[in-house]
């Protein structure tokens, strides 16, 4: 089960279909893992201050970021964890990168879900593998390659 919590109203003002977009991106990312289709996760669509607080408390970084992933410990319910996205950061990045915020949202949701599935981008090899999966997931959603200009969409 995927639970989408919309805490910041700016998400729905900018994207009335935000819940469906987030859900589709999460389901597409989950489909890359054969053992995860029934796994659960929560997506929090928040404001910058909420994500700044989470980033400070859990990562020791006092500032908002676009997406945070919080993997859950192993549990019998199959809950993978939670991800949180900051509206202001995501909207600014989408504008700066000249892309629709819906595409950016779907990329960051897919990115966050892949983190919950155990993927990372700490080394060049890990980044290549994770970005390759993101491209496949996004192509299936009709979202252009976020890396085609060599840019980064996430921390």
Which pair of tokens denotes residue 74?
């192993």
Q: Give the start-to-end residue ranges of the domains of the chain.
A: 2-140
Predicted local distance difference test score (pLDDT) of residue 150: 46
Question: Does the domain at residues 2-140 carry the CATH identifier 3.40.390.30?
Answer: yes
CA distances from 89 to 45, 53, 76, 117, 124 (A): 12, 14, 34, 24, 25
Q: Work out the widest C-alpha separation in the chain, in whole angstroms.
A: 42
CB 71 within 8 A of CB 116: yes
Q: What are the residues facing 41 on neighbouring strands?
A: 2, 81
Predicted local distance difference test score (pLDDT) of residue 37: 55
CB 19 within 8 A of CB 31: no
Q: What are the residues facing 84 on neighbouring strands?
A: 44, 68
Predicted local distance difference test score (pLDDT) of residue 39: 75
The whole-angstrom separation of Cα 131 and Cα 20 is: 23
Q: What are the residues facing 70 on neighbouring strands?
A: 82
CB 30 within 8 A of CB 116: no
Which pair of tokens denotes residue 120?
């990372």
Residue with tokens 């496949």: 136
pTM score > 0.85 for this model?
Answer: yes
- Low-confidence residues of the chain: pLDDT under 50: 150-151, 153, 155
């Amino acid at each position: 089960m995927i639970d989408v919590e919309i805490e910041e109203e700016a998400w729905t003002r900018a994207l009335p279909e935000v819940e469906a977009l987030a859900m589709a991106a999460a389901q597409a990312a989950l489909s890359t893992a054969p053992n995860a289709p029934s796994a659960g996760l929560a997506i929090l669509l928040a404001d910058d201050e909420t994500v700044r607080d989470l980033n400070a408390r859990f990562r020791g970084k006092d500032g908002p970021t676009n997406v945070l992933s919080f993997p859950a410990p192993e549990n019998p319910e199959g809950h993978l964890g939670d991800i949180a996205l900051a509206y202001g950061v995501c909207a600014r990045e989408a504008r700066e990168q000249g892309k629709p915020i819906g595409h950016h949202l779907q990329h960051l949701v897919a990115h966050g879900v892949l983190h919950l599935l155990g993927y990372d981008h700490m080394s060049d090899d890990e980044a290549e593998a994770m970005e390759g999966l993101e491209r496949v997931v996004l192509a299936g959603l009709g979202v252009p390659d976020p890396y085609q200009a060599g840019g980064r969409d996430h921390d």
